[in-house]
Amino acid sequence: MANVEHWVREIPPITRAWVGLCIASSIAVQCKIVAPLHLYFSWKSTFGKMELWRPISTFIYFGPLSMEFLIHLFFIMRYSRLLEENSYANRRADFLWLLIVCSAMLLLISPLFTVPFLSGSLAFALVYIWSRRNPSVQMSLMGVITLRAPYLPLALVGVSWAMYNDWRSAVADGMGCVVGHIWYFGMDVWPQEMSSRGKGWFETPHLLTRLVDGPPPPVVE
């Protein structure tokens, strides 16, 4: 028990909170405490019926407890943790802002593709961002194919399509890739252009930084 508690505490806080909410929502559905119909995102239900939890619940439900649920949970645990511990080490506000912005973009485009649950799309956005920031890393896909990290998202979209024989699964994953690319271009590529003056498209608001990371340390003269 102590080892499990230690392992849980080692998970960075934002990833740990997201994983915990995903597990809790699936258990709640499994125990019939809440129905999936009350969790998916719908503009009409959210603002017409004032069911304001839907823009959040759509990102924390991966379906009932199953092998598919465990696979999605693995993606969160691995790639969200890698980003939070490396690219955003000691910058929790910036990582939280990444999740907020990517979630907002997914909510905006979801009606175009009729994708009710966006948790998998958000996880795929993180996979895409991590893969672009680690272009030299060699990945093994299902222990059969070796490929470099930038090709991993597209390969996973293809695997998802083949496994479930459903284009909607591939569309949901593809949405995550598109949103991840917008973030990557806006924050990693664009600031290198002279006209950008070194600023990205999605700079973290100062208020969020102060709330999450606290005030900056005093300058020692």
Contact 142, 160 (CB under 8 A): no
Type of residue found at 183: W
Q: What is the mean pLDDT of residues 153-175?
A: 73
Say if 218 falls within a structural domain.
no
Q: What's the pTM value of the predicted model, to 2 decimals?
A: 0.88
Say if 65 falls within a structural domain.
yes
Type of residue found at 57: S
Say if 189 falls within a structural domain.
yes
Domain span including residue 198: 2-212
Instruction: Give me the CATH number covering residue 138.
Output: 1.20.1540.10
Is the pLDDT at 164 greater than 70? The verdict is no
How many residues make up the chain in this entry? 221
- Tell me which of 67 and 218 has the higher pLDDT: 67
Q: What is the rounded distance in angstroms from the CA atom of residue 5 to the CA atom of residue 10?
A: 9
Q: What is the rounded distance in angstroms from the CA atom of residue 169 to the CA atom of residue 157?
A: 8
Structural domains counted in the chain: 1
As to burial, measured by CB atoms within 10 angstroms (0-12 exposed, 13-18 middle, 19+ buried), residue 180 is buried
Say if 184 falls within a structural domain.
yes
Can you give the pLDDT at residue 219? 54
Task: Report which listed range, 102-106, 111-115, 199-203, is most confident.
Answer: 102-106
Q: What is the rounded distance in angstroms from the CA atom of residue 56 to the CA atom of residue 88?
A: 22
